[in-house]
Structure 1
Amino acid sequence: MLLDRLKYDLSPENIACEPREVRLGSRDRGRMLVVRRSEGLLEDSQVLALPEFLKAGDVLIINDSKRLPGVLKTHTREGAQIEFRLTEFSSDQTCLARPYPTHFVTPNLRVTTDTGSVLTVIETNVGPHKLCVLKSNDDLVEVLKVDGLPITSFFYKSYWNIDHYNPIYASEEGSVESPMAGLHFTEKLIAELRTKGIHVCPVTLHVVGSWLPFLEDAVDSHIAQAEWYHIPQETAERLAEARAAGARIVAVGSTSMRAIESAALVSGVVPAGSGVSTLYLKPGAEFRAVCGYFTNFHPARSSLMVLDAAFTPVDLLMRAYHHAQRRGYLFQEFGDAILYL
């Protein structure tokens, strides 16, 4: 399948430019389009109604990875400005990043942040996205906390505080991008889910480079980035109970989906433990454990939409997206939600 099959034109009025808590007063007040895959039906609803679409015993999987600022604005000794967008950490002081612009960036280049932290370019032109290896003289996480800005889409009105980009349950630092589907949840909504008997269980998957553009024309030609994940013992036990009872496992966002499906055995059992995933979920993929998917409306021609198309027939997926556009749903990270059942 060609990636252009997942192309759509997005109007400005369908783009959410502010966090939901700023725009609506609460994260859980967005709209939600429900897609019934087997019947091919679409239903307009709200995120607050999510408990109504799940049953007691179902398991909702959330990713507790916590986002750090991922953009460093630096300058060279001559005064040239260079922005580095991080993709992943290699060590406490080393990371992979994409520089803007690239023509100043060569091995051994030293740059400085506004507060005086010094970073050195170790290697350039790494991988198909032409990343560089960047080394800090100081602990890189601390440099990001002092000097960093969140990785954000270019159409946002401004940079927001990093808390606006993290789900309320985020606790495990390790990503420079956050699992944005989790931004729909509030403590009240989670309490309502649990009151109904729905189990809300964490996994951890540290996101790597999901903002990088899809370079290939053919979906099958893409290779997924390696990402570390962890399935806690308690989560594994809940999943086993749900499986035995015939209850559903619903992933919140692509990161929770990849963590569970990376760990799942052929039998559908999801054992506890940690690992590194290169799982690439594309049309034709087998989903061993997850049977429901709560997520955002994703950018056209992106790896995130490829995963959506793996979980839902492409024709139905595109019909859902066009329906959402016509009905005035908001897209992108701060936009509305879509629930595939």
Structure 2
Amino acid sequence: MRVDLFDFHLPPENIALRPVSPRHAAKMLLVPAAGDFGHHQVIDLPKLLKAGDCLIFNDTRVIPAQLTGRRGDAVIGATLHKRIDLRRWQAFIRNAKRLKVGDQIDFGQDVRAAAEQRHADGSFTLYFEGDDPVELLLARAGTMPLPPYIAGKRPVDERDLSDYQTMFAQKDGAVAAPTAALHFTPDLTEALDVAGIKTATLTLHVGAGTFLPVKAQDTDDHRMHSEWGSIDAATAGRLNQVRASGGRLIAVGTTSLRLIESAAKDDGTIEPFEGDTDIFITPGYRFKAAGGLMTNFHLPKSTLFMLVSAMMGRERMQAAYAEAIAQNYRFYSYGDSSLLLP
């Protein structure tokens, strides 16, 4: 499909630079398969789902994966994308023309990395030198990797250390937050439990590729970057039991949805999964396991807007986004939410 079919105009003032407080006070647009849209707050979620439904969260934890250093007199920026091994990361490089294989980048705070390999997409494999764990090096020299549409308008600060982390975050490795879950609070999860809504967690370490624009003119020509994910056997069994009992699997965020669809067989059965996925969901895709999606509002012509269009229909989502803009919903990572129920 043509990428420009997924374009829309978003006024800059609709881009959220900070989350609301409390988090569950964010607005939420209910998008059913047909009929009127519903205007709610995230705290209303227990009333919008059914007992026996299951919300699926991503328990990845965002690491301080944004680095700025020097190679000689050149300033080099690095956004870590995907862990290769204990000391190596694939990274997207700013000012990459000034970096070649074999160069050393000094990131300050006694943190240095060697450019070991250049990949076909222009990214590099960085080897972090020394004996300290890379996580400790990043804690010293790295900053939180806020999306460009936020970082381009204000600097990263101490508030982002907590604001850009979900309450479910446990496993280090993400370069971007699974932002749909930023809206959840202990009060909300307690209300969900009382309402009989089940929960489950999986892990998908979100990579920096989620920030990259789609440069192709046709979706067939776009290549997704792979990300590592895991669903253990116990979780897969619980999710299958929910479906067998007539409950819906509601993914909280596109990362959770992409992973359960990667792990699902054609009949919808979810199998344990551990490894990379580069699944690219566009209109025409047949969903195998997911029965709904809670997600924030995404960029024009992005792979994520293509994904929600695949679930609800492109014209339906264009109308939903037009409604959200008209009602002053806040967009992107720190913005408001939507609940898609096909």
- Pairwise TM-score range, normalised by the shorter structure: over 0.9
* Inter-partner Cα distance in structure 1 for 2:12 and 2:222: 29
Counterpart in 2 of 1:267? 267
Alignment partners' CA distance in 1, 2:285 and 2:270: 17
Contact 1:64/1:170 (<8 A) preserved: yes
Give the match for residue 159 of structure 1.
156
> Of 12, 23, 29, which aligns to 2:25?
29
8 A contact 1:230–1:273 mirrored in 2: yes
| Matching residue of 2:201 | 202
Residue 40 of structure 1 deviates from its aligned partner by 4.1
Q: Following the alignment from structure 1 to structure 2, what is the Cα–Cα distance between the partners of residues 200 and 207?
A: 20
1:141 shift after superposition: 2.1
Partner of 2:103: 109
Residues 1:323 and 2:323 are matched in the alignment: yes
Comparing 317-326 with 265-274, greater Cα deviation is found at: 265-274
Structure-1 separation of matches of 2:293 and 2:241: 19
Contact 1:119 1:134 in 2 (8 A): yes
1:67: which partner in 2? Answer: 62
| Contact 1:75–1:82 (Cα < 8 Å) also in 2 | yes
C-alpha distance in 1 between matches for 2:144 and 2:110: 19
Q: Show the counterpart of 1:216.
A: 216
Name the structure 2 match of 1:51.
46
Name the structure 2 match of 1:8.
8
Residue 117 of structure 2 aligns to which amino acid in structure 1? E
Match of 1:186 in 2: 185
Offset, 1:223: 2.4
Shift of 1:127: 2.7
Tell me, in whole angstroms, the C-alpha distance in 1 between the residues paired with 2:110 and 2:313: 51
TM-score, length-normalised on structure 2? 0.93
Name the SS for the 1:152 alignment partner. Answer: coil
Task: Give distance in 2, aligned partners of 1:227 and 1:77.
Answer: 32
Displacement after TM superposition at 1:118 (Å) = 1.4
SS at match of 1:103: helix
Equivalent residue of 2:116, what SS? strand
- Please give the TM-score of this superposition, normalised by the length of structure 1: 0.94
* Displacement after TM superposition at 1:16 (Å): 0.3
SS in structure 1 at match of 2:98: coil
Q: 1:308 matched to which residue of 2?
A: 308
Q: What RMSD in Å do the two structures reach over aligned CA positions? A: 1.4
1:134 aligns with 2:133: no
* Aligned AA (2:13): E
Counterpart check, 1:98 vs 2:92: yes
Kept in 2, the 8 Å contact 1:40–1:316? The answer is no
Distance in 2, Cα, partners of 1:131 & 1:273: 27
Name the aligned partner's letter for residue 58 of structure 1: D
Question: In the alignment, is the contact (CA less than 8 A) between 1:70 and 1:177 conserved in 2?
Answer: no
Once the two structures are TM-superposed, the CA of residue 58 in structure 1 deviates from its matched residue by 0.4
Letter of the 1:182 counterpart = A
Which residues of structure 1 form unaligned runs of 5+?
A: none
1:35–1:340 CA contact under 8 A, matched in 2: yes
Q: Offset at 1:162?
A: 2.6
Alpha-carbon distance, 1:25 to partner: 2.3
Mapped contact 2:82–2:227 kept (Cα < 8 A): no
Q: Deviations over 1:225-282 (max 9, x none)?
A: 2222211333223222221221111000111001111111111111234232222111
CA distance in 2, matches of 1:228, 1:88: 8
Q: Judge which range, 95-104 or 288-297, deviates more.
A: 95-104
SS in 2 for 1:210: helix
- Aligned ranges 1:170-181 → 2 under 5 Å: 170-181=169-180
Unaligned 5+ segments in structure 2 are none
Query: Share of identical aligned residues, percent?
Result: 31
**C-alpha contact (below 8 Å) 2:148/2:211 kept by paired residues:** no
Structure 2 distance, partners of 1:211, 1:32, is: 23
Partner of 2:233: 233
Runs of at least 4 residues off by over 3 Å? none
Q: Is the 8 A contact 1:59 1:238 kept in 2?
A: no
Q: Give the whole-Å Cα distance in 1 for the aligned partners of 2:29 and 2:165.
A: 23
- Name which of 77, 100, 119 aligns with 2:72: 77
Q: Which residue pairs with 1:144 in the alignment? A: 138
The residue type equivalent to 1:133 in the other structure is: T
Give the equivalent residue in structure 2 for 1:339. Answer: 339
The answer to whether the 8 Å contact 1:229/1:276 transfers is yes
**Equivalent residue letter for 2:128:** S
Amino acid of the structure 2 residue aligned with 1:140: V
